[in-house]
Each structure stands twice: as structure tokens, then as C-alpha cells.
Structure 1
Amino acid sequence: MFVVGLTGGIGSGKSAVSRLFEQRNITVIDADQVAREVVEPGEPALSKIAQRFGDGILLADGNLDRKALRKIVFETPRQRDWLEQLLHPLIRDRILLKLEQSQPHSNAEYAILASPLLLETDQHLLVNHIVVVDVDEAIQISRTTARDMSDTEQVKAIIAAQIPRAERIAKADDLIDNSGTIDDLKPLIEQLHNKFLHQARQERESDHG
């Protein structure tokens, strides 16, 4: 199946873009959701995280305190490296499984892998085409602080830990400017949807040719 990789910096609006593709009956595999799944209670990764950081990293119901963990790893690069080495292979394997499972059950011509770390990890090797959702840093900060109730400095640290904006844009096959409203997005997504349908059909024909 033709797979489109969708990425962008924190606060760029990847979720809004994903929802517009889902409204067109396109399967969207959300790497953020997969990242939450691999640290759910009962998953081996959660036990390893608790062993390293202590039970204080867990909420009263046994779930991971994601906000506390985020604070630790963005203040201590060594801890972030350890966490990434633990989680990235698990996330990649589960994404692959979801892509495989989606194919027999989907009438769509293509699927989307939405991932904030598409270009920072080897997840970009799983896709045929890369779409970057882009806004300037000021919009990233204002949207993220409003959404997550995070402080500005923490959001800036997250932005600094992600791939630089210019590098992300340079790797894009298509670029979506999401500095406007949802109504501004809709015609752009419709154009891309039709483009991806065409590309997916071309690839399928070449495979069968």
C-alpha cells in the first residue's frame, strides 16, 4: 500500500490535518497513540521505565505520568537517549503491524502515518511520500501552551529537541502551511487527497505491470 508520512513540529496542527484525511475514509496510524500504547499498564516498557525512574513516575491508577516523564527527559539528555533507545524500536514494530493489519480491511488506496518523529527516527523509511505541516515558532508556542498548559520554556525545549524547521521543510515532498484556519486547510487537503489517490494507483499499476 502507498503510505504517506505526515509530520510537523509540536503545535503545528498535525491532528487537525489527520482528521481531515480520516473524513475521507483514509486510515491514519498515529505514532503518538502507538507511543502511548507501548507504555500502557502491563506492557514491558512501562516496567522498565518504573525501574529506572521509580514508582513516582506512575499515577495512582498505574498509568505513566507522561508530564512528569517529559519534564525529566527534556531536562536530562542522557535520560532522553535511554528512553528513545527503549521506545523507538517498540513503536516502529507496532506501526509496521498496524500498517499490515490495515491493508486487508481498508478500501482506501493509501494510508497515512502521522508522526512527530518521522524524520528524527527511521520511521521515514516506512513511507513513500513525506508531508510536512508547517507554522512558525511563535504559533507553535502559543498553540502548545494553550493546549497542554505547558510553560513557554518547556515548549521551547521541545522545539529545540526536534529536527530544525528548515531541515524538516527541506525533506518535504509536500508542505502544508497551517498558520490559518481549519477552513483554509480543507481545500489543501482535498488537493493532496486527489494527488495521493493518483500516486497510489500509479504505484499499484507499476507493481502489477
Structure 2
Amino acid sequence: MRVGLTGGIATGKSTVSQMFRARGAYIVDADQIAREVVEPGTEGARKVREQFGDHVFFSNGQLNRAVLGEMIFKDRSLRFKLNQILHPIIMKEMEKRTNLIYKQDAQAIVIWDVPLLIEENLTKFVEKVIVVYIPESIQLERLMKRNQLSKEEAYHRIAAQLSIEEKRRYADFLIDNSRTLENTERQVDQIWNYLKSRSGSSQP
């Protein structure tokens, strides 16, 4: 069974992803893969350099994420160009890793942890969609605190994605992460039990 996990920036999606991993889910993390495909010497790094220039890289060949991030969060057209470059490469690697998991465990519950699952129209590749939700006001506060951003900077980053209120409309399961971790754990348990019953997984 393949499930999509998404949410807005600073909603706590990574925390929820780890909760599912602890329960036995196989996590295919799009953010992690996105970092790997732009490592020095990769096709992704070469294409990003061609499009955005040498100034978005450090002298050792590593991508300067702060510089590139500032560019794409302020300019929708640049964000689109970056997605056009990296999206096919990331998708190919996600499918490859998913297929390897199923070869090892045909009844595996595989969770695609993808921030832009809805924006990139990837819901068609998963059976169910889990959205991690917090109200936008709390999202703004958490992002400012987590990334040491001004209110304006945080707002720009949130605005670069589909709003969390819109994302919740796509959810088969909504996890409200605005309260305690214990409350979030209870919601994860309920969803996990459902997924196990649907998949026939032997996970405890």
C-alpha cells in the first residue's frame, strides 16, 4: 500500500513521518532525495548550475541552499524552473526505491513523504493522502521561530506553497498537530491501524 504524507512548511510533517516510521512504515522521503540528487557530480547539480549559475554553489561544489532558496521563494517563475529540472529526477528515484521495498515486502506500507504532493499533482500515485495540519497563524509563528525569520520572510515561504487550508480539502486523513505530541501520536495510531487492516501488513 502506498500512502502520501504532506503538509505545509512548519506544520510538523517530519515529526509525523518519524512516528509512522517507528510503527513500521517504509518512508520514501522526497526532501532527502531532493538533497541527494544535487550532490556534486550529479545530473541534478549540473542542470541547476546551467540554469541558475555558479553563485548558487559553494566552491566545493555543494549547493548553497540558502541562496537558491531565497531566489525561488521570491520568484514563482524561478521556482517553476527548478521544479522542472528536479521533479523528473526525484520521481524516478522515488519509484526506484518504492519498487525495491516491494520486492523485499510485497505487503509493505510505503509512505511517500512529499511537501508538494498536492501542488505537483502526485496524489494520483498514492492510494490515500494524509495531511498534517495546523492553523496558518500557528504555522507562521512556528516557522519564524524555527528558521529565525522575520514575519515577512516567513509569510513568503508559506505563500510559496498551497495554503494549508486548501491542502486539508485533499486529505483522506487529517492529522491536527496543533496540540500535544501525545494527541498527535493517538491520531497516528488510528491511521496506522487502518492502513494495516487495508494492506494485510504483518507489521505489529
TM-score, reference length from structure 1 = 0.90
The answer to whether 1:30 aligns with 2:29 is yes
* Matched residue type, 1:26: A
Q: Which residue number in structure 2 is paired with residue 127 of structure 1?
A: 126
The answer to whether 1:158 aligns with 2:157 is yes
Could you tell me whether the CA contact under 8 Å between 2:30 and 2:114 is conserved in 1?
yes
Most deviating of 158-167 and 27-36: 158-167
Cα separation, 1, equivalents of 2:165 and 2:142: 20
Q: How far off is 1:175 after superposition?
A: 0.5
In the alignment, structure 2 segments of 5+ residues that lack a partner are none
In the alignment, structure 1 segments of 5+ residues that lack a partner are 203-209
Q: Which residue number in structure 1 is paired with residue 185 of structure 2?
A: 186
How many residues matched? Answer: 201
The answer to whether 1:81 aligns with 2:80 is yes
Could you tell me whether the CA contact under 8 Å between 2:8 and 2:161 is conserved in 1?
yes
Could you tell me whether the CA contact under 8 Å between 2:26 and 2:108 is conserved in 1?
no
The answer to whether 1:118 aligns with 2:117 is yes
What are the residue-to-residue correspondences of 1:136-151 with 2, within 5 Å?
136-151=135-150
The answer to whether 1:71 aligns with 2:101 is no
The answer to whether 1:172 aligns with 2:171 is yes
Q: How far off is 1:108 after superposition?
A: 5.9
Q: Which residue number in structure 2 is paired with residue 205 of structure 1?
A: none
Cα separation, 2, equivalents of 1:23 and 1:6: 15
* Matched residue type, 1:100: N
Cα separation, 2, equivalents of 1:94 and 1:73: 23
Most deviating of 54-63 and 30-39: 54-63
Cα separation, 2, equivalents of 1:106 and 1:147: 37
Cα separation, 2, equivalents of 1:159 and 1:24: 30
Cα separation, 1, equivalents of 2:12 and 2:128: 19
Cα separation, 1, equivalents of 2:12 and 2:117: 15
Could you tell me whether the CA contact under 8 Å between 1:169 and 1:175 is conserved in 2?
yes
Most deviating of 144-153 and 21-30: 144-153
Cα separation, 1, equivalents of 2:64 and 2:93: 22
Q: How far off is 1:109 after superposition?
A: 3.5
* Matched residue type, 2:108: E
Q: Percent identity at matched positions?
A: 35
Q: How far off is 1:51 after superposition?
A: 2.4
Q: How far off is 1:41 after superposition?
A: 0.9
* CA shift digits 1:44-66 (9 cap, x unpaired): 12122222322221123321011
* CA shift digits 1:116-142 (9 cap, x unpaired): 100011321211000110001122122
The answer to whether 1:16 aligns with 2:15 is yes
Q: Which residue number in structure 1 is paired with residue 51 of structure 2?
A: 52
* Matched residue type, 2:68: L
